[in-house]
Structure 1
Amino acid sequence: MKVIIAEKPSVAKNIAEAIDAKQRRDGFFEGKDYIVTWAFGHLLELYDSKDYDEKMGSWRMDNFPFIPEVFKYKVKQDSNDRSQVDQGAYKQIETIKSLINREEVTGVISACDYDREGQIIGDIILDYLEVSKPVERLLLNEWTADEVKQGMQKLVSNTTMRPLSDAGIGRQWADWIIGINLTSVATLKYKRGGSKALNIGRVLLPTLKIIYDRDLEIENFVKEEFHKLTGNFTGLSEGSEAYEGNYYEDGKDKFEDKGQLEKIKELIGKKEFEITEKIVEQKKEYPPSLFNLSGLQGHVTGKFKGWTSDKVLKVAQELYEKKLITYPRTASLALEESLFDKAQKVLSVHKKGLPYEEEIKFHKGKRVFDNSKVESHSAIIPTYMTAKGLSPDEKVVYESVKNRFIMQFMPIAEHEEVTLHTKPKEHTEEFPESGVFISKGRTQKVEGWRKVEKIQSKEKLLPALEIGDEIKLLKLKIDTKGTQPPKHHTEKTLLRVMETCGKKLKTAKESASDTETDADSDEDENEVDDVDDTNQDSEEEVELLKSILSGFSIGTPATRAETITKLKRVGYITAKGKSLICSEMGRKLVETLPVKTLFDLEYTGKLEKTLSDISKGEVPKSAFLDLIVKFTEEAVDQIKQDAFHIIYEDTSQQKPRGDSLGKCPGCGADVVEGEKGYGCINWKGGCKFVVWKEDRFLSSLKVSPSKQTVVRLLENGELFSRSFVNKKGDKFSAYLRYELNKETGYYSWKMHF
């Protein structure tokens, strides 16, 4: 008898059905040879800092940096009341413990998701329970009955998964170290009022910087004006249709000097023209690649209103747990070559009844099956299960995955591109030798895979003209246009930048349609074109794959959506339609926080790459954590030493503050009157400047500070009085300075005469 631990109840149910463990109990399923139980994702969580040391219960700048000697775990706390243990999680942990401790149980099978987080969900539970019985690992890409049965025949020892576990634990501990320390000191230093913290994170800040940089590009954009000359022509034969051509000279059709085009216009206004060249090209259009998670999120958020990348992931996860699609948190754009038979079976199920069923032909081409394009998990495809009773949201995601899969086995789309060169019949010295009007047309010859989602081809027909045909000029027009600023990031474009860690990769289509449009043009935000019209895998696609598969990225497919959602939730960015824009608080954070490394895409990419290398057994976890600790200690010191400024002030529940009495000599913040003294408003940021109303030293001199006293002290740096009284009761005159003791960090009075 063995205990199988699944990541969620729905997956446990799928496993139980496949292995005939049909008896439902409280917290598990039981069969003849197996007991199937489950977690609810993470049942355990890392200790809070105050769990290690009571003094960490209150945030004080002096307490940081704080690095635990040994990281410990506890049953997760109730999300509604952090002071209480989550009773559901506690009960399930006890259930798992009791099942494993049964005398007849000889071993455990971890069946959590086959990824970094899934590995540690199982491992942390097993370590917490101090399980000594043998542990095996079930590694699957989907939860259909066939896959579960096959997977149970190919179990591996959980010890072989140690590198993946190290990567997951390393990521978790690193984010705790950076998050706890830098969030605390940044909040103490730069935020006033309210209960919410300034969130500082390893993945959060570089993502914010991407949006900030794009906003800045837009604000600093300087429009460059240019001019184009367009001609309208027609053939001389009866019924010949008109067509349009753009004037080119030395290979360019955009001109800074409008006068240059006006001369050409005047020169050729009454000339006769002819076709001097006709180029006909037959082009193939391959379908866009299978989806990885970022691709699926970009496709859905770009095509459908009201969708976020986080929502796409949640719906995809539900479909995965319902056995309808394969593992969604993948970075791969192709299938493993071992999946030929499986893919053929899936295709045979889903093509039935389609109006273009006869055109769907299975093949083993490298665009679909390529081990070099797969990292851990293959691309997302449907399973052989047929979907029934899907919700509208589930249908959007499921149909997107299914259609993209079917596209791969449809005929390659083909179109014909025709280019006509129109020039004056008689060449004159005034007309440039390279001057020519170029017209382009496109005719779709084979729809192929475009039929699957009824993607309309953008046809532009040219009249049937041949070289030497005489042409009549109908009209010449000069248009003044201008370059346009880049557009704000959307979730689709942001995911691509995160996936490639900011590498500026362009597809052939993007390069051909740069941001040069009429000043008054208004592009339809809802128009989506996911089609890659290249004939072969372009250099950009190859570089994209290298970047994705190397692990050099910001976050992982599983975490990017939550990062974008969190940026909105904490108020660093706002969404306007599909556009993502940096908020005032987000801007101040980028511009103010002195730890610039945290915003560096290159640095963040290296950290993620290191985690990827740990998962492959190429780098030890300890080396990574040593790097994180050193970075955090230096970053905390940078913030502590930084000048005083406020990034965000929440005044909604804040008591009105008194007028400023002057600037603090220590940090430059305002000094105000409080109930017990006159202090710096930056006390949460670690500033110790305060003159107590019942100061012991001043009391011994028979004086007490007033507002005017503190104002003079701040203005002059010292106080003078003839009214000080010594121990004998005699009055005397002296100067007082209030100086910082660098050893203690506190201010004290110094007298001189």
Structure 2
Amino acid sequence: MKKLIIAEKPSVAGNIAEATGGGKRENGYIEGDHYIITWVFGHLLQLYDAVDYDEKMAGSWKMENFPFIPKDFMYKIKTENENRKKTDEGARRQLDTIKKLMDRDDVGEIVSATDWDREGQIIADEIFKYIKTDKKINRLLLNEWTRDEVSAGLDNLKPNTEMESLSDAGFGRQTADWLIGINLTSVATVKYANMGYDALLNVGRVLMPTLKIIYDRDMEIEKFESSKYYKVLLTLENEKGETFEGTFYRPVETGETEDSDDGESSDGKTKRSEKFTDKEEADKILEALTGEKVRVTEKDVDTKRENPPYLFNLSNLQGYITGRYNGWTADKVLKVAQDLYEKKYITYPRTASSVLDESLKDKARKVLATVGKGTPFESELKFKDTKRIFDSSKVESHSAIMPTYVLPQKLSEEERQVYEAVKNRFLAQFLPQAVSEETRLEIKPREEIIQKSEIMDSEDVIIVRGKVQKVEGFRQAEKIQSKDTVLPDVEKGEILTVKDGKVSEVVKKPPKHHTEKTLLKVMETCGKSVDPEQEEDSEEMMMSILSGFSIGTPATRAETIKKLKIAGYITTKNRSLRCTNMGKMMVETFPVRELFDLDYTGRLEKTLADIERGKFKRSEFMSFIKGFVADSVEKIKGDKTFGGTVKIPEDAHVVGKCPECGNPVVETEKAFGCSNWRNGCGFTVWKDDKYIQSFGKKVTPKMVELLLENGKVGFNGLISKKGNRFSAYFIYEKGEDGRYHWRMEFI
């Protein structure tokens, strides 16, 4: 008897076939002596559309048909992306192939070999629900598709029934998102279309809190009040003529040094600050010290030993690549990493773990010997068995991402960038610690200078900090360059000269807009105990991630960011993510406020994680979701405030009054639009108007001002299609279709 293996993709099926002795490639499968290997390509099945359950849901959406909650959830062959009424013929053919293979008399056992996560589990389980069989179903659980791992995995199959909790979590996520998406998107779109919003309002369990994170940062920047202070920077010279820079500090009251670089003297008592609010005072101190002799009164040298950053999980890998290279998105990083995984070069990328399971020690030793060979630091590589690398208690389902022993033969530039990142982070774990000496000098002016200046006292000091890298260690792997100041050799008691200096103005800047890198970090923990600007995860954050309290999963976060862009809720400028006006309106006025509550969303995601661990029942989760959907639909139906009123920013460029409603028309990045858009006014003149551009002209602020003031605007030097020049008035008027169109009158 033969075993039928169902892989998630044709490429994975090829890896399994190679590991099991090969076979003859047929239409939709590969057949060998002992195994038949077929495949899917993602989900071949999908949940019924609402109309499949009830014909009254056909055509346009009607408010009275919602909430729509099926008693049982049914599956059908997936439809085409472009035409949801048409069945995907490729999916139908492959399902027919799988059914024929499952029904063959010489097939005695079925092996599910899809990806080892929620989504991978239900991709195959959907098929087993759709195509009934009484044959034994086992599960192949692998983190990589190398020959050794496939062979070992096939010798240690698990009954698919043991994956019930993982399956429940996957189906729970799928049906919950269907209920929320179908009901809330439909009802919101219908409700607010009646209030003048001609757009699909995409509402989702993961979309809304992610949008809120971006919105909150935008508002933080918008409300930020800039401030400035001055500091005195002094150039110091030792007897050898070597120069370096120090900063002047003075005593302050306790509590005033919150943003200070130093704030405390070596005696741990005196609080000091480098900040001057009065530039004139700072100038006087600079003048008093320039050319004078000062003495080094304290020298503290602290040896720092630094461990390498943890191994990559998916979010950290996405953040590393998008932060290091231009043109990358989180979604693109995942796709490239998935390709490398299927080519057997790296382990499973959709992981939240930053350490390896303890069972992988021998494998890691083998990989180290392979990928470390020929590196410039090969002689320094040494296998380590430490909890920073191997700790089963900090692994949930999948270990951190690492290379396999299969060395790539040929990689595209994008594949090389991701592979090198994974490889170098792995090698860094087995290099020595980085060792540096951090020096702090405390330097005091002579007493006669203090007395002469009349604005200094004996507690005033000049503080210098510097760093010397003694051992590069793991920094060699990722070529991490230190930005710290390197100091010359200076001893306590040495006399220095203040050569010159400057008073530097420091302007306190607002926080930066979120990038995909920082957004992914916040999504990992719903913003709990994490600074999104930090480069690497702490152990505390690692455990927080593994608790499941998050927005989405490693596999879905990149897709969520992509969907927000498609929905028109956010836009990208350089690497920055920003809310659009529609996105701001959703956060500020959409009535189902729970969807924007990060804590609420985190609890939902943690519940799914607890279902996966067998700690919570899927039936209880679904009962809650159905109640939430029903309540939310009623909130939307009864809402009368969506959109709200508009507050025009003080720096907005107003070009005139709206001909529709009389409110100000303001300039934005792409258009001149009515500020009353939230209440349904759609008057807009687009800057890239193709009609105006066809005559060799541009839409400018002055042009729109004249248009709104006079009802028309005149142009000289217009160019016709034949190249002739002429003059004409352009009139912008509303047509029978409710939209504005240009009309031309010759002068």
Range of TM-score over shorter length = 0.7 to 0.9
Q: Which moved more, 1:317-326 or 1:266-275?
A: 266-275
Give the CA deviation at 1:255: 3.5
**How far does the alpha carbon of each residue in 1:215-274 deviate from its partner, in whole angstroms, 9 at most, with x for none?**
111110001222212222222x24343443342432322244556545655665675310
**How far does the alpha carbon of each residue in 1:539-574 deviate from its partner, in whole angstroms, 9 at most, with x for none?**
x71221121000000000000000001111111111
Equivalent residue, structure 1, for 2:615 = 618
**How far does the alpha carbon of each residue in 1:375-432 deviate from its partner, in whole angstroms, 9 at most, with x for none?**
1100001111010121111111111111111111112111111111110232767644
Equivalent residue, structure 1, for 2:637 = 640
**How far does the alpha carbon of each residue in 1:669-700 deviate from its partner, in whole angstroms, 9 at most, with x for none?**
xxxxxxxxxxxx99xxxxxxxxxxxxxxxxxx
Find runs of 4+ consecutive structure 1 residues off by over 6 angstroms.
192-195
Equivalent residue, structure 2, for 1:26 = 27
Equivalent residue, structure 1, for 2:495 = 470
2:565 maps to 1:584: no
Equivalent residue, structure 2, for 1:68 = 70
Contact 1:243-1:462 at 8 Å conserved across structures: no
* 3-state SS in 2 of match to 1:281: strand
Contact 2:311-2:401 at 8 Å conserved across structures: yes
2:204 maps to 1:201: yes
> Partners in 1 of 2:170 and 2:347 — Cα distance?
22
**How far does the alpha carbon of each residue in 1:694-720 deviate from its partner, in whole angstroms, 9 at most, with x for none?**
xxxxxxxxxxxxxxxxxxxxxxxxxxx
Counterparts of 1:709-728 in structure 2 under 5 Å? none
- Cα–Cα, structure 1 residues 248 and 340, in superposed 2: closer, same or farther, change >3 Å? farther
Give the CA deviation at 1:56: 0.8
Equivalent residue, structure 1, for 2:439 = 418
Q: Which moved more, 1:274-283 or 1:252-261?
A: 252-261
Equivalent residue, structure 1, for 2:18 = 17
Equivalent residue, structure 2, for 1:80 = 82
Equivalent residue, structure 1, for 2:668 = none
* 3-state SS in 2 of match to 1:106: strand
- Aligned Cα RMSD in Å? 2.3
Q: Which moved more, 1:18-27 or 1:567-576?
A: 18-27
Contact 1:441-1:459 at 8 Å conserved across structures: yes
**How far does the alpha carbon of each residue in 1:633-668 deviate from its partner, in whole angstroms, 9 at most, with x for none?**
1111011000165699xxxxxxxxx999xxxxxxxx
2:192 maps to 1:211: no
Counterparts of 1:189-588 in structure 2 under 5 Å? 189-191=191-193, 197-235=200-238, 237-249=239-251, 250-258=271-279, 261=282, 264-265=285-286, 272-426=293-447, 431-506=456-531, 530=535, 541-588=538-585
Equivalent residue, structure 1, for 2:705 = none
Contact 2:434-2:475 at 8 Å conserved across structures: yes
Contact 2:289-2:498 at 8 Å conserved across structures: no
Equivalent residue, structure 1, for 2:711 = none
* 3-state SS in 1 of match to 2:112: strand
* 3-state SS in 2 of match to 1:494: helix
> Partners in 1 of 2:427 and 2:274 — Cα distance?
41
Give the AA of the match of 2:224: F
* 3-state SS in 1 of match to 2:133: coil
Q: TM-score, normalised by structure 1?
A: 0.80
Contact 2:231-2:503 at 8 Å conserved across structures: yes
> Partners in 2 of 1:257 and 1:623 — Cα distance?
63
> Partners in 1 of 2:427 and 2:644 — Cα distance?
51
2:602 maps to 1:605: yes
* 3-state SS in 2 of match to 1:448: coil
Q: Which moved more, 1:250-259 or 1:271-280?
A: 250-259
- Cα–Cα, structure 1 residues 163 and 487, in superposed 2: closer, same or farther, change >3 Å? same
- Cα–Cα, structure 1 residues 615 and 645, in superposed 2: closer, same or farther, change >3 Å? closer
Contact 1:585-1:647 at 8 Å conserved across structures: no
**How far does the alpha carbon of each residue in 1:463-488 deviate from its partner, in whole angstroms, 9 at most, with x for none?**
32211112222235332322110000
- Cα–Cα, structure 1 residues 647 and 118, in superposed 2: closer, same or farther, change >3 Å? farther
Give the CA deviation at 1:455: 2.4
Give the AA of the match of 2:39: W
**How far does the alpha carbon of each residue in 1:293-350 deviate from its partner, in whole angstroms, 9 at most, with x for none?**
0011001111111000000001111111111110000000011111111001111111
Give the AA of the match of 2:502: K
Give the CA deviation at 1:205: 0.7
- Cα–Cα, structure 1 residues 20 and 578, in superposed 2: closer, same or farther, change >3 Å? same
> Partners in 2 of 1:205 and 1:432 — Cα distance?
56
> Partners in 2 of 1:265 and 1:238 — Cα distance?
23
> Partners in 2 of 1:194 and 1:461 — Cα distance?
60
Contact 1:167-1:614 at 8 Å conserved across structures: yes
2:128 maps to 1:126: yes
Q: TM-score, normalised by structure 2?
A: 0.80
Give the CA deviation at 1:632: 0.8
Give the CA deviation at 1:457: 2.3
* 3-state SS in 1 of match to 2:538: helix
> Partners in 2 of 1:486 and 1:93 — Cα distance?
52
Q: Which moved more, 1:294-303 or 1:188-197?
A: 188-197
Give the AA of the match of 1:163: S
> Partners in 2 of 1:637 and 1:287 — Cα distance?
53
- Cα–Cα, structure 1 residues 18 and 194, in superposed 2: closer, same or farther, change >3 Å? farther
Give 1 or 2 for the bigger CA radius of gyration.
1
- Cα–Cα, structure 1 residues 503 and 381, in superposed 2: closer, same or farther, change >3 Å? same
Contact 1:589-1:647 at 8 Å conserved across structures: no
> Partners in 2 of 1:31 and 1:550 — Cα distance?
43
* 3-state SS in 2 of match to 1:140: coil
Q: Which moved more, 1:198-207 or 1:362-371?
A: 362-371
Contact 2:183-2:629 at 8 Å conserved across structures: yes
Contact 2:231-2:247 at 8 Å conserved across structures: no
Give the CA deviation at 1:453: 3.0
Aligned identity (percent) is: 54
> Partners in 1 of 2:538 and 2:571 — Cα distance?
31
Contact 2:165-2:614 at 8 Å conserved across structures: yes
* 3-state SS in 1 of match to 2:107: coil
Q: Which moved more, 1:260-269 or 1:242-251?
A: 260-269
Counterparts of 1:672-691 in structure 2 under 5 Å? none
**How far does the alpha carbon of each residue in 1:578-637 deviate from its partner, in whole angstroms, 9 at most, with x for none?**
000101111111112011110111111000000000000000001111111111111110
Equivalent residue, structure 1, for 2:154 = 152
* 3-state SS in 2 of match to 1:376: coil
- Cα–Cα, structure 1 residues 622 and 461, in superposed 2: closer, same or farther, change >3 Å? same
- Cα–Cα, structure 1 residues 238 and 196, in superposed 2: closer, same or farther, change >3 Å? closer
Paired residues in the alignment total 624
Give the AA of the match of 1:554: I
> Partners in 2 of 1:256 and 1:385 — Cα distance?
61
Q: Which moved more, 1:360-369 or 1:299-308?
A: 360-369
> Partners in 1 of 2:286 and 2:187 — Cα distance?
67
Give the CA deviation at 1:351: 1.2
Structure 2 unmatched runs, 5+: 252-270, 646-658, 662-678, 681-747
Contact 1:246-1:439 at 8 Å conserved across structures: no
Give the CA deviation at 1:195: 8.4
Give the AA of the match of 2:543: K
> Partners in 2 of 1:345 and 1:402 — Cα distance?
14
Equivalent residue, structure 2, for 1:96 = 98
Contact 1:233-1:474 at 8 Å conserved across structures: yes
> Partners in 2 of 1:68 and 1:559 — Cα distance?
25
Equivalent residue, structure 2, for 1:51 = 52
- Cα–Cα, structure 1 residues 228 and 151, in superposed 2: closer, same or farther, change >3 Å? same
